Amino acid sequence: MQPFDYLETVTISHVGKPFLSYHQRTQHADTRQLLHTESGFWRMGGPGHVELLIAQPTGLVEVLEGTIESGTIRLRSSLVGRTSSAKDVTLVEREFTIAEDVLSYSLRMTAVGCDLANHLEAELRRVQ
């Protein structure tokens, strides 16, 4: 896949329960055409343990678990579910680093017969 520019919005909000709501939306930088979206929930699974549940309109569902330490969250899928028409994704790793108003992340995956590889990375800045 060739590199390209895109715009991304991530919204994380508290809904009054012991989890955070998560929504991500990616658009083409020039045309503003929707490229990807996903929604889910962040949950604390105990001290230093974090869980992320994500559903995508592409037919994928991810259940990721991992650690949070010193502003870095490292997650690995414990389950990747898919519909019969979705791409064959078998493993997902996501890493997030938070430093002041900057959220950096990377996403690696094992998909469509390829070994674990970097899929994308980005740096997002907080907007009030």
Domain for residue 86, yes or no? yes
Q: How far apart are CA 97 and CA 91, in angstroms?
A: 20
Note the pLDDT tens digit of each residue in 86-102: 999 999 999 999 999 99
> What DSSP line would sit under 56-101, residue for residue?
-TTSEEEEEEEEEETTEEEEEEEEEEE-TTS--EEEEEEEEEEETT
Does residue 3 register a pLDDT over 90? Answer: no
Report pTM. Answer: 0.90
Domain for residue 79, yes or no? yes
Note the pLDDT tens digit of each residue in 12-23: 999 899 999 999
What's the domain range around 42? Answer: 6-125
Note the pLDDT tens digit of each residue in 111-127: 999 999 998 888 999 88
Q: What percent of the chain has pLDDT over 90?
A: 83
Per the structure, the count of domains in the chain is 1
Domain for residue 15, yes or no? yes
Domain for residue 1, yes or no? no
Residue 28 maps to which CATH number?
2.40.128.20
Does residue 11 register a pLDDT over 80? Answer: yes
Contact 128, 107 (CB under 8 A): no
